[in-house]
Amino acid sequence: MVSRPIWQRMLEWVQTSTPGDTESAGGKTEEASEEQASKDPAQAQSLIAREHARSGHLRLPEPDWTNKLRILFLAGAAFLIALAALVAGIVAGVVFVVHNAARLKLPWPPAGTSTLTLAVASLLGATAWRVGQAILRRRAVRATAQNPPESRTEDDQNPVAAP
């Protein structure tokens, strides 16, 4: 009789045995477990669970799409409410400023003061926007000049802290 290598015997033993099974004298075998399972319902459930786990047919829980959609809907609604409040605040501020500018005692009509105030406020807002964008561009150029692409390594591209 030709002896198989030990690694083949170990592999076969691991594939055929389950935790709790022993094939030595006095131990439980699968046949003995099946006989006991026919008499005891708890043992039967244990044997069924063991065979199910052994076969590899494990079912993963299905994703709960209704809760995910509900959370997404609530987040979208909260965002829209916040956006509406922001727009309403801006409109109320502009109306307040234009209304109070029209009440000033100036040598021209109040409609001209309101129009001029609205135009100047719009120009000031656009100017502030452009200045902010220019500052952000300058910062980006400065950051790129300090760390040019050719000096970067793969670690710079995806920094992940090691535990």
Q: What is the pLDDT of residue 132?
A: 95
Q: What is the pLDDT of residue 63?
A: 73
What DSSP character marks residue 148? -
C-alpha closest to that of 104 among 114, 115, 95, 91: 114
C-alpha closest to that of 37 among 25, 51, 23: 51
pLDDT tens sequence across 117-149: 889 988 999 999 999 999 999 998 888 877 766
What DSSP character marks residue 26? T
The parts of the chain modelled with pLDDT lower than 70 are 1-3, 7, 9-30, 32-34, 36-38, 52-61, 148-163
Q: Which residues contact 52 (CB under 8 A, 6 or more apart)?
A: 58
Q: How many CA atoms lie within 13 A of 136 on its CB side?
A: 6
Q: What is the pLDDT of residue 25?
A: 46
C-alpha closest to that of 33 among 16, 50, 52: 50
